[in-house]
Amino acid sequence: MNNALIKSARIAFADTPFHGKEMDVLVEKGVIVKIATEITVDNEKVSIFDAKGQYLAPGFFDMNVNFGEPGLETKEDIDSGCAAAVAGGFTGVAVHPNTHPPVHSRSEVALIVNRAKRLPIDVYPVGTISKKREGKELAELYDMKLAGAVAFSDGNRPVQQAGLMSRALLYCKGFAGTVLSYPEDVSVAAGAKMNEGVMSTYLGMKGNPNLAEVLMIARDLYLAEYNAAPIHFTTISTAESVALIRKAKAKGISVTCDVAAHHLVMTDDLVAGFDSNYKMSPPLRTITDVKALRKGLKDGTIDAIVSQHTPHEVEVKQVEYQIAAEGIIGLQTVLPLVLQAGLTVEQLVDKLAIGPRRVLGLPFPEFREKAEANFILFDTEKQWRFDRHSNRSKSSNSPLLGRELKGGVTMLINKRQLIKTQL
């Protein structure tokens, strides 16, 4: 189904003359052929969609997702991960190297690129910073870049050696590579099960203090400044982190950052019930941190919102909280969480579609006649239930499973493929 007439959609493409207007859009074979206030067609091969009350926006891009392939396909493979991305409104994802083997050479990068070619989602591998994610020796960064890697990170293993991170920043600077820092000082956070605070004291669990994140951000900011190289911090979670990055930007340091959608809504109080689906890394913080993160989004300190989609099998997640794996699936629930956090449509489009592509140096979707369509339709008032029927992931580790959510995607068009979502 590649031919469609979308009627009366509210356009949410900034920097176009159509922004904020209600327009009809005709798409044929995946290409925008006409944009007007009123379009009529007689062709029976064109499907007509009433989009009254819905927003037509550039496809979202998630720069922090985890698929299991290669090696951990029982968690998620590229097909099922992309199905979840479609349902969540993402036309592009950057896949982190938390796989087995990790994505640390051109072979793994090429595998992911080739596996995703036929799918409606643009899949960009993130290569490792260090070989085997061991934090000892630089991986084949430039080689992976040539094979299709869009950025470099050791995934959920923070780079503990300052010298290694410094060399990575300097080396990537030479070929415009993007370094993603997952900020956590393991020596401070080691063994933690949740955020350090009143709730961790009450529950008697070792806490991960804000300090563990802030120390690493401070270190990497110094390294970025020293090497005159850009750096991106992924999934920041504390008020202190926002303040540090805000000051660094004002100082002229080339720094960007993102936040996971769940950190904009959920707090460490939720851990009181020992539901392992609230165990994640970085951990859920306090309401003070949540408010600071929301403010950071609105004032431009935080550049993007991510899902941090981290699927797990039931054997490692539906167990006692203390021994459960960290992370939740999130591709399908980003939009409802962002709306719950109070972002406007303009703000969420900027942080979910434009900001991530700007950080990674990727082209923005265009909304003009003769351009290849890369957009979604979403309804901020749509009520839907996230359950085993609507969940597209192989895994089910989400505290939102079984709940009614507000805000959903109804259509996605990308790579000349049109998909009407079935949420």
Angle between helices 287-298 and 239-251 (to 10 degrees): 30
DSSP bridge pairs for 94: 124
Residue 283, domain CATH: 3.20.20.140
Query: Does residue 422 register a pLDDT over 80?
Result: no
Task: Provide mean pLDDT across the span 77-86.
Answer: 97
Identify the pLDDT of residue 43: 77
Total count of domains within the chain: 1
Identify the pLDDT of residue 1: 58
Binned at pLDDT 50, 70 and 90, residue 152 comes out as very high
Task: Provide mean pLDDT across the span 226-241.
Answer: 98
Q: Does 16 map to a domain?
A: no
Q: Does 347 map to a domain?
A: yes
Q: What is the pLDDT of residues 301-325, one digit of tens each?
A: 999 999 999 999 999 999 999 999 9
Beta strands 304-306; 55-58: pairing state: unpaired
Q: What is the pLDDT of residues 334-389, one digit of tens each?
A: 999 999 999 999 999 999 999 999 999 999 999 999 999 999 999 999 999 999 99
Q: Does 423 map to a domain?
A: no
Task: Provide mean pLDDT across the span 209-234.
Answer: 98
Q: How far apart are CA 423 and CA 390, in angstroms?
A: 6
Identify the pLDDT of residue 421: 86
Q: What is the pLDDT of residues 240-274, one digit of tens each?
A: 999 999 999 999 999 999 999 999 999 999 999 99
Task: Provide mean pLDDT across the span 98-109.
Answer: 97
User: Residue 209: which domain range?
Assistant: 58-360
Q: Does 15 map to a domain?
A: no
Residue 31 DSSP SS3: strand
Q: Does 4 map to a domain?
A: no
Q: Does 68 map to a domain?
A: yes
Q: Does 52 map to a domain?
A: no
Q: What is the pLDDT of residues 35-54, one digit of tens each?
A: 999 999 887 789 999 999 99
Q: How many CB atoms lie within 10 A of CB 316?
A: 14
Task: Provide mean pLDDT across the span 178-198.
Answer: 96
- Judge contact between 342 and 388, C-beta under 8 A: no
Q: Does 125 map to a domain?
A: yes
pLDDT over 70, % of the chain: 99
Output the average pLDDT for the chain.
96
Binned at pLDDT 50, 70 and 90, residue 149 comes out as very high
Binned at pLDDT 50, 70 and 90, residue 423 comes out as low
Q: How far apart are CA 398 and CA 341, in angstroms?
A: 18
* Distance (Å) of CA 65 to CA 43, 62, 119, 240: 40, 7, 16, 25
Residue indicated by tokens 């074979």: 29
